[in-house]
Chains A and B, each alone.
Chain A
């Protein structure tokens, strides 16, 4: 069984290599090949899961040592895999959702002439993501970490002819670099502290290490997680990343890659458990982001950007849970999995809507689509109910547990965190209801298609005639079937995991689990969660369901305007980082020009002047040369004698 682990990674990697190197002759079959290899990886994952489920909880972890990567004395870097329950969960999520999105992409990218390349990148992403979650040491994890960053960059900028897509890809890459730097520093700190970066030895020896060092490592890991998972303060790239094709947004920027930060923190749980300050920082980041993303999600008219804000907010929940320690780890991962289902489903639904609406993304130009796209409406609707935490659906179980755990943190912190989580649940209900109402209900506010020359944001290959009204229609089966499968997961996943504490028992051997004791009863928490959800839905209905939605966005309040600009994140970054960076480089250039160059040029000028003066001694007269020799000899003799005298 161990030997199958490498195949998990190898299958999509092979697909990426073949598809990216194979050239145009694979254009006809490329998408089938890519999908088949993703599915093969899923099948291997299921086989491994079946094997693992058949063993005792204590003996489920298996590993595979592939080869020694950098075998140097005192520095052992191995390519070795570790498959335990945590990795297994991710493997099934990644390959399962990944395969569904591959299938969906066959339809979605049908008219794109670079479809083969698209599938190559998707396979590359799968391979890198699997490497990330299967690595048995931080260095190999870092390889996967950078690999998914690369795939994300390539896929965000897949329509590179659009300047906005190219810019968004670059932005994602640059912001992620900041986080990656955190991870590399964390790995270096681990190596200097523990002498290794393998999970086992590092996590086992946290007890013998100073808390200060663990806090430093933890904060660096948190920085890495912030970058990859779009958490405040490195959240700015996720909204722009929606420039990528919608399947990419669903797979990478909703279901899998952006959750890598949660994986990293849960995987490094031992470090955070021993560093309470770092843990507190994690909860703060999670709490801030869950509000930040939710507020941004309320103001966006672009359906994908509204969903991106929601993703940010939901990952904020996961990070918050991961920061709570053993009372939260399991629920962080559980929410991650259920979120993987319903958010991927929501994005695929959004893609389906765009598909039927000439690639229009502005929800103010939707309306009343439920009649025209029934499958999309139902699957999207189930995803909607799941995310707002409608009792009985996935999100209800996982989010409610996180809110409970937040209260269980105890003390003032517990009240604050729990309150924030509850508030977030209300806002979630509000903005998701807004999306739902603006898209599928109300009057039809459709607009004629824009002139593609003036608005080059239209996805290529899709026939759009300027001035033509959209003809909303249901998407083909190849697209709707994945949506249906994901909807099933959105509905039943949470219940399946929670009944009998299945998920807790499953993950407990890896992440530890402690039952939290909230200051108020669990029932009260659940009741409040449902109550705030109802309030959020109601407010949204008052604003968007009862009144017609204006096609042109009203000016809005100060907060709305700020939220439309992503709560001024880019302005902040521009003023603080870009301007600051410019000032820094300018001052450095100034120092370089004046001080460094001054010293260098001054030295050179001094040498040149000295040289010019000295060469005058060489006047061409033998008599002067003889005098110099005589003087030299005299000095030589005098000095030799003087040495003796001293």
Chain B
């Protein structure tokens, strides 16, 4: 290599015309939900920096709720403007899709986010420390649990109000995730919503060592899964010469217009495609908590602060299933004869695994974690249907499931003893005698999880299984029903425990929450029952939103 050639690597001749990168076209209007949320997150950081400590909490809650509500309004406006159906299209230079599934899932995530903010902001459950109201989060997350600096922070009335901007960042990432229309955007969104969640998991006020352990596990395994995803993305790029969903789909279908010369050697190599697909899908299956990538779920659900668990269990699942749907339906429909059998197997082991292991759980949060694994299996059954009905049933299921989940975890925050939340199941014995209302509400959520008619769980499960059966996956439906039967055992066991066991003398008490948590639980119950009794309107809505743009 000559000297001038080397030189030309980092200089250009002044005479050469400069290839300007054109300013990107950004459809701000269509991207407004995400932009509002991310903007509010940045404002939240500024509040942390500049607003006096005393009113930070109020400012953060206000900004978060307003931003999420505004973003939700923007989603509704977009949907009303036809962006979910007739005007659906690709925005931001091909990076983001604005279509029915994206808007539906974004709306679901935003509503879950609002309820999440309510549970995050709850400050009445724990007794006040040194005259300061406390929430579920550590006074100063950086201090060692039990150390002098922590005590000083508690005494000074510090609060980790950073959880609100972190939550907004996570929601921002989640909004992009199901709308991502190329693999790089997908990956960035994945990291944008994962990193704040790792942090949020670590900041529990009580049992913080467990919380930190959960966060580290989640982070390590999440990083591990991300690495797979990233490697898979590289392989797919090698296969198609592009990270754009549309282009990859064209190469898969064999209708690609032009071939990048540099990649001519690897392009169209099916080994790259299959391995890359498997690795990207694996990253998404990790996020939804499908067997065998589910191992983080129980530990993290148990260790994380319960409001975080509730939000995460609901919203992460929505976002990750949205991304999985788009990947399988937009990028890989031509490959479905390859991925369907594998996903069949994953769905079956996920349903059975989640349901069976849940039987012997003794901690209510771990129980709900395994239940969420089983539910991931049920939703996968709808994903596998590869039909418009499959999409809409998954959308409906996700919407129904998120409200049940947030509500159920919100109830878990109420049942407390001296050590904080009383999550061991034995302590829930006889709860129905002491607090019939709370126990009844929790029973409603459990019945919804079990898929009993007149709850949203039944409507969702019915829609998903129907789509799966019509899609030719009868075996999955059989396994799904068997798993539901197994799962019903442990849901109903909790109900039996609450209503038909003698209360323990030193059992937990039920804290009276502020209107914030009450709202979260109340909305959860109302949505659960409305979607159970009259699901048709929402099924139609999901049906209208069931078409992906390509």
Contact = CB atoms under 8 A, between A and B. Distances in A.
Interface string A600-639: 0000100110111011011010101110110111011101
A347 B514 CA distance: 79
Contacts of B281: 636
A27 B250 CA distance: 92
B286 A643 contact: no
Contacts of B299: 618, 620
B469 interface: no
A626 B224 contact: yes
A557 interface: no
A637 B342 CA distance: 9
A611 B373 CA distance: 14
- Give the secondary structure class of B's interface: helix
A626 B221 contact: yes
A611 B356 contact: yes
B295 A629 contact: yes
Nearest to B345: A639
Contacts of A608: 359-360
A615 B342 contact: no
B356 A643 contact: no
Interface residues of B, number: 40
A640 B275 contact: yes
B187 interface: no
Contacts of A552: none
A629 B296 CA distance: 10
B470 interface: no
Interface in B190-236: 216-217, 220-221, 224-225, 228
B295 A612 contact: no
Contact of B486 (A607, A635, A637, A640): A607
A622 B221 contact: yes
B274 A632 contact: no
B468 to A, nearest CB: 19
B62 to A, nearest CB: 38
Nearest to B356: A611
A520 interface: no
A151 B486 CA distance: 49
A631 B217 contact: no
Contacts of B277: 640
Nearest to B340: A643
Interface residues of A, number: 28
A644 interface: yes
A610 B356 CA distance: 7
A455 interface: no
B295 A607 contact: no
B292 A632 contact: yes
B165 interface: no
A369 to B, nearest CB: 67
A628 B339 contact: no
B338 interface: yes
A606 to B, nearest CB: 10
Nearest to B291: A632
B315 interface: no
Given A610-B356, A618-B298, A631-B292, A644 B270 contact: yes
Contacts of B279: 633, 637
B137 interface: no
A624 B342 CA distance: 23
A103 B282 CA distance: 90
A637 B360 contact: no
A641 interface: yes
Contacts of B489: 604, 607
Contacts of A611: 356-360
B342 A639 contact: yes
A615 B278 contact: no
Given A631-B292, A632-B293, A641 B275 contact: yes
B489 to A, nearest CB: 8
Contact of B220 (A626, A632, A635, A639): A626
B157 to A, nearest CB: 35
B287 to A, nearest CB: 12
Nearest to B221: A625
Interface in B323-342: 337-339, 341-342
Contacts of A637: 274-275, 278-279
Given A633-B228, A641-B271, A644-B338, A614 B357 contact: yes
Contact of A607 (B228, B296, B359): B359
Interface in A30-71: none
Contacts of A614: 353, 356-357
Best-surrounded residue of B225, B281, B353, B357 (most CB of chain A within 10 A): B357
A629 B338 CA distance: 21
Nearest to B358: A611
Best-surrounded residue of B216, B217, B358 (most CB of chain A within 10 A): B217
Contacts of B271: 641
Given A607-B486, A636-B281, A644 B357 contact: no
Contacts of B296: 625
Interface string B244-285: 000000000000000000000000001100110111011000
A627 B356 CA distance: 21
A253 B126 CA distance: 76
Contacts of A631: 292
A642 to B, nearest CB: 9
A575 to B, nearest CB: 43
A607 B221 contact: no
B17 to A, nearest CB: 46
A644 B295 contact: no
A636 B224 CA distance: 16
A615 B338 contact: no
A600 to B, nearest CB: 11
Best-surrounded residue of A604, A612, A640, A643 (most CB of chain B within 10 A): A640
Contacts of B353: 614
A618 B360 contact: no
A629 B337 contact: no
Contacts of B270: 644
Nearest to B490: A611
Interface string B296-318: 10110000000000000000000
Contacts of A622: 216-217, 220-221
A629 B225 contact: yes
B360 A643 contact: no
B74 to A, nearest CB: 37
B221 A640 contact: no
Nearest to B220: A622
Contacts of B360: 608, 611-612, 615
Contacts of B225: 629
A626 B222 CA distance: 10
Contacts of A644: 270, 274, 338
B288 to A, nearest CB: 13
Contacts of A624: 295
A618 B353 CA distance: 12
B357 A629 contact: no
Nearest to B296: A625
A611 B358 CA distance: 7
A633 B217 contact: no
Given A611-B356, A614-B356, A632-B292, A640 B339 contact: yes
Contacts of B292: 628-629, 631-632, 635
A622 B295 CA distance: 9
Nearest to A646: B341
A636 B278 contact: yes
A60 B345 CA distance: 75
B248 to A, nearest CB: 16
Contacts of B337: 643
B20 to A, nearest CB: 42
Given A632-B291, A640-B275, A643-B339, 9 more contacts: A607-B359, A611-B359, A612-B360, A614-B357, A615-B360, A626-B220, A626-B224, A639-B278, A643-B337
21 contacts: A607-B486, A611-B358, A614-B357, A617-B295, A618-B299, A622-B216, A622-B217, A622-B221, A626-B224, A628-B295, A629-B292, A632-B293, A633-B279, A636-B282, A636-B342, A637-B278, A637-B279, A639-B345, A640-B342, A643-B342, A644-B270
